[in-house]
Structure 1
Amino acid sequence: PYLRLNRYFYYLLKRRYPLEKRYLRTVTVRYNY
């Protein structure tokens, strides 16, 4: 599971910048609704 977590974290870090805006938008929408 360690490797899996590492891969997951790496993927998140790699796709953090482009997904940050999307995530923030989804979060705001969820909070708004």
Structure 2
Amino acid sequence: MRTVEYHAANILTKLELKSRRQLRQALTTT
């Protein structure tokens, strides 16, 4: 079951990166 946790962590990290980029873009645009 380690693979599942690994994939879940990867997805979470990717989501965090996307959200951070979106937040930065929103802050820069405003």
Which bracket does the TM-score occupy, shorter chain normalised? 0.5 to 0.7
Give identity over the alignment, percent: 15
Residue type matched to 2:26 in 1? R
Aligned length: 20
Give me the TM-score of the superposition, normalised by structure 2.
Answer: 0.52
Runs of 4+ in 1 over 6 A off after TM superposition: none
> Where does structure 1 lack aligned partners over 5 or more consecutive residues?
1-13
The Cα offsets for residues 1-33 of structure 1, whole Å up to 9 and x where unpaired, read as: xxxxxxxxxxxxx55322000000000000000
**Match of 2:15?**
19
> Where does structure 2 lack aligned partners over 5 or more consecutive residues?
1-7
Give me the TM-score of the superposition, normalised by structure 1.
Answer: 0.48
**Pairwise CA RMSD:** 1.1
